[in-house]
Chain A
């Protein structure tokens, strides 16, 4: 602990409050070690001599420090085809239901938020290619969003370590990735072009609103980092981002029923998902 900056309990509280207001993520004294490690990183990177001077720099957003600070706090542990039973549900149940009210050629919009370094939105694209025979019949738009702009840059580059590919069948890896050294794997250009990446904070309504309405939203394993108030706010923003009748998929340990009454629970063979009711629907 000796190399950690001296942060008083009051300063620590103010920093956590700052972080909460910017991201919705809750950190308290119990996560002090985790938070201090990141403060330390950012103080070293910016050359700040003391915590008060670093905090002043952060609050006035000197050289985009807010963005850098938030990037240091996000968790980017994910992999391709994570919780793929939900992708199974997507092609077996959700999309067939969505296209019932569409014409061929209409747009079909899927949002991965947060998308971290891109594994999830790319997984969706790959899954659709291999498991949905309507890929060419709709104008499919896949959007990946995150508050971590470093993660988004990595997602756009489309280069992955072997660990991210561990759940993919070898045939899928061979089809959709190229490697020179068996260490780094680059996703095919066509797949890279099939996802549009953009920075969005899902607790910020002004930001979610700019993305338009989606047919399906994947919002997995992020609400667990929020407190009740941010969770509700995120749920309301996501609700507004869904077309009437649109679906949202959460992580396996998350339940929308405990967060917001806005959605209807839909129990399918492969997953439990949540639906924005169709307008005019009752009960």
Chain B
């Protein structure tokens, strides 16, 4: 696996247990992890400091994952081009299509095993700087 080289990942999920679950796996693999509990908080954080990758839950209060992605893609580059991995408990083709339409780059169905999460994040983050 590629060395993450301190890449910055923002985990956006309203469930604090899930944020911690993903954070643990990613930090162990060498990523730097930040958290947001909904789309609105994520946008605020990203405007403060950009991330190399976003992990985005779908169902969240205040601003859900799809609304967040649509808002993000309308911002100025390079922020608007931040790669996003959507995680969801839904696995129907129309859910995948909706995620793609909203601006997701990749889609994983929960439960996401920690090893699989790390592998996908490493691939999407690209080679270390």
Which A residues fall within an 8 A CB radius of B? 103-105, 125, 128-129, 133-137, 139-140, 175, 188-191, 193-194
Contacts and interface: CB of A to CB of B under 8 A. Distances in A.
Interface stretch (B11-19, B63-71, B76-84, B97-105): B11-19
B59 A105 contact: yes
B3 interface: no
A252 B113 CA distance: 34
Contacts of B13: 136
Closest 4 CB pairs of A and B: A105-B89, A137-B111, A104-B89, A193-B16
Nearest to B114: A133
Interface of A is mostly: mixed
Contacts of B91: 104
Contact of A129 (B21, B87, B90): B21
B107 interface: no
Interface residues of B, number: 22
B113 A135 contact: no
17 contacts: A104-B89, A104-B91, A104-B109, A104-B111, A105-B90, A105-B110, A125-B17, A129-B21, A136-B15, A136-B18, A136-B110, A136-B111, A139-B15, A188-B20, A189-B16, A190-B16, A190-B20
A136 B24 contact: no
A166 B91 CA distance: 43
Given A105-B89, A105-B90, A133 B17 contact: no
